Chain A
């Protein structure tokens, strides 16, 4: 990072380090709190200590031995990945068209997609519930994948078309002159350059689908399609008088892991893509 208006003095470094720590602590305390809870034993869970006095993996063992959670995890991963894949593929094509082509109804398309993004999802839950019941989609994977794609697409189109607009059109012309078919020009020249945008979009869409609670709780009724955020709310203890705090915490920790992995994995790609860009002549 370039230092603006001053040399890198120790005092300056210390000031920034302090600031960074404050930000990180502020952001991470709730996360660490739930991690801490997940490692506490049943007896000490309410003691209010930040660092557990007795460590245990019981909570983790317990969630992975119940089919309820494992099944929900499979549902979550499957639904989020499929929704991401479809939304990114459709979004890429749509964004390319929006950025590059002039077709009738382009403004209407952009307007409608913006409208969908702005629409309060909660007001659509009841009609969706009825529609899915009538179509037999209720409590199925497609029953969640479809609304996720619908609400993720506007976001995908917006992010991606911004990336496509950055790519000089002459590159595509050059590829055509070099003997590429339109498909080859897109796949070999445009797509690699848009890759950082595609990955960014994929992350955003995945996170949206992964974190969704509203649709997951409203459009499912059994383990068939219930995702982890919804399943968490159905957690009970071993008996009905037992508090499931420990297991909920453990499950909450587990479902943050795929997100972290996903972001870390693609972040490398994003950075690599950005540095190799430098398109301007």
Chain B
């Protein structure tokens, strides 16, 4: 076990393309850290550089205090779980798991003991003599994990290890991975493009975009205090609503009507020297059916009245979608997110508002409904830089 330090680590390919730019992350011993971002953000490249499968162009990588830049992967004492599992098809499960130990020249008894122990932890004992081709997806995934844990390495690297599983199994394995990591207490770097995995698994999350770190922090902190539009839009599902807004005195003009600026927000805006035109972000879960909000609680809140376009009932909640006239909020970072989600050419016309209401809500499709929200939960962003103007560092 060891800590991992990335000190201004940069990756530039021979053709000049910059994949990762000056990534500075300190991963504590035993920490579970997630690298998350859309495809092409440099998260896998970063992981491969830690693994030693790709060269570091500049900067320094230290594991357990030792400089690792020029060491071969085999000399770094770290194990990796691949997206495709990369099990050796010509070996049985036992041989697959024993492979790293045999390479380390351990004696037969120790190898057997360790393999059987790992198999027991991962519930693979009855499959030890089968070949990967005869295993289900979940079992293969566990074998890949087993091959990583047998030799008790300094750190685990995981490259989207759950993305080949079907949805139900993925949720189950997510818990499994989390429990395993807690029990072993091994430093883990986990790459994913799935924000749910990032939120649920990590002690801390590193959000990457275009090879640059956008924000590092605990999942809850990133959710509550995103540093910019990109992080705000990436973390949370359904995504935060973004609407164009205009600051006028102590009021905010938006598609949702005119909102009062609370003292806290106004002070932050002044500090940030905010422009007049901003992008307002508000999460779907910060809305509630106004009919369900008690009278005394409604004071100080704002109400939006609109016609429900689509209503999705999830059982526990209801999602109400409203079409807003006017323009959509536009920003380079938002377009990038839309491109990643593949929704750039949806003919949605104007903006859209997603709200999450309680299951008790009587809202119906096509009917007008009042939704209540707290203006203090609103986040304001600079449309040009994407910076969160209401950001409060922790």
Contacts and interface: CB of A to CB of B under 8 A. Distances in A.
A179 B75 CA distance: 7
Nearest to B159: A170
A277 B52 CA distance: 28
Interface in A205-234: none
Given A171-B88, A281-B85, A176 B53 contact: yes
Nearest to B141: A281
B90 A193 contact: yes
Given A173-B82, A174-B80, A176-B72, A193 B100 contact: no
Contacts of A192: 90
B82 A178 contact: no
A176 B72 CA distance: 8
Given A277-B89, A281-B140, A173 B53 contact: yes
Contact of A176 (B73, B87, B137, B157): B73
Interface string B358-394: 0000000000000000000000000000000000000
B331 interface: no
B187 to A, nearest CB: 15
Contacts of A179: 74, 100, 103-104, 151
Contacts, number: 74
B145 to A, nearest CB: 13
A237 interface: no
A155 to B, nearest CB: 25
Contacts of A181: 72, 74
A140 to B, nearest CB: 41
Contacts of A173: 51, 53, 73, 80, 82, 86
B154 to A, nearest CB: 12
Contacts of B79: 177-178
B283 interface: no
B164 interface: yes
Contacts of B88: 171, 174-175, 189
Nearest to A280: B84
B374 to A, nearest CB: 47
B51 A177 contact: yes
A191 to B, nearest CB: 10
Of the candidates A192, A277, A281, the one having the most CB atoms from chain B within 10 angstroms of its own CB is A281
A261 interface: no
Contacts of A188: 99
A172 B84 CA distance: 12
B272 interface: no
Nearest to A174: B86
A176 B131 CA distance: 21
A278 B132 contact: yes
Contact of B89 (A176, A177, A184, A193): A193
Size bracket, chain B contacts: 20 to 34
A189 B104 CA distance: 16
Contacts of B87: 174, 281
B147 interface: yes
A168 interface: yes
B18 to A, nearest CB: 20
Interface in A136-174: 168, 170-171, 173-174
B78 interface: yes
A170 B89 contact: no
A67 interface: no
Of the candidates A171, A177, A276, the one having the most CB atoms from chain B within 10 angstroms of its own CB is A177
Nearest to A189: B88
Of the candidates B72, B84, B104, the one having the most CB atoms from chain A within 10 angstroms of its own CB is B84
B339 interface: no
Contacts of B341: none
Contacts of B100: 178-179
Interface in B59-94: 72-74, 78-80, 82-90
A204 B103 CA distance: 35
B131 A276 contact: yes
A178 B90 contact: no
Contact of A278 (B72, B104, B133): B133
A85 interface: no
Contacts of B78: 177
Nearest to A184: B103
A276 B104 CA distance: 26
A180 interface: yes
A23 interface: no
A168 B86 contact: yes
Contacts of B133: 276-278
Of the candidates B51, B73, B88, B90, the one having the most CB atoms from chain A within 10 angstroms of its own CB is B90
A279 interface: yes
Contacts of A279: 89
B99 A178 contact: yes
Contacts of A178: 74, 79, 99-100, 103, 147
Contact of B84 (A184, A189, A281): A281
Interface in B24-80: 51-53, 72-74, 78-80
Contacts of B157: 177
A174 B83 CA distance: 11
B325 to A, nearest CB: 48
B161 to A, nearest CB: 11
Interface in B111-154: 131-133, 137, 140, 147, 151
A264 to B, nearest CB: 23
Nearest to A181: B74
A180 B74 contact: yes
Contact of B103 (A171, A180, A281): A180
Contacts of B72: 176, 181
B63 to A, nearest CB: 14
Interface in A225-281: 276-279, 281
7 contacts: A176-B52, A176-B72, A177-B53, A188-B99, A277-B133, A278-B133, A281-B140
Given A174-B82, A189-B88, 5 more contacts: A173-B51, A173-B80, A178-B103, A281-B84, A281-B140
In the A-B complex, list the 3 residue pairs whose CB atoms are closest, starting with the nearest. Answer: A278-B133, A174-B86, A178-B100
